[in-house]
Amino acid sequence: MDTNNSSARLTQKEYEKQRLDYYKVIIGLLLLTALTFVQPHLFAEGSTFLAQMFIALAKAWLIVIYYMHLKGDKLIGYMVLFSLFLVAVFFIIIIGIDAPSFQYGAESYITAPASAH
């Protein structure tokens, strides 16, 4: 939708094209939003959380690439990808390894209310 030369004034033709792209993206986002609502009753009923996050990622991709103009912007694009990679690593380590092996249930305030201790 956009290029690195985004500081230039738009011609009428460029404006029309980019406006059309915006409309295409919003249709995609609306369809994915509709999918969010029907998913628990339509498919992957046992894995609602994973299915919902997958749909959210698809929506996020559309927003970041088109609405936030990252398409074709390599420097910021790689910067964002690297940051997301770091976040994913932390998530995988903490949620995948640490949380399921939580060892302090007996004395922790995050597994039982303070009054129980």
Partner 1 sequence: MAHEYIPEISVDRNGKEHEVQGWQGDFYGGKLGFWLFMLTEVMMFGGMFLALSYYNVLHAEDFIIASSHLNRLLGGINTVILLISALTMGLGLLKMRAGDIKGSKLMIYATILLALIFLMIKGVEWREEYEHGIFLLHDKLLVTSSLPFGQKLFYGLYFTMTGLHGVHIMIGIGLMLWLIKRINAGKVTPDHYILYWNITLYWDIVHLIWVFVFPYYYMMGAGHGH
Q: Which of 73, 77, 97 is nearest to 85 (CA)?
A: 77
| Phi-psi domain of 40 (left: phi exceeds 0; alpha: psi -120 through 50; beta: other) | alpha
Binding mask 78-117 for partner 1 (x = CB under 8 A): -xx--x---x--xx--xx--xxx-x-------xxxxxxx-
Q: Interface residues for partner 1 in 2-41 (CB under 8 A)?
A: 4, 6-7, 9-12, 14-15, 18-19, 22, 26, 29-30, 33, 36-37, 39-41
Least spacing, CB of residue 105 vs partner 1, in Å: 8
Helix (H, G, I), strand (E, B) or coil at 72: coil
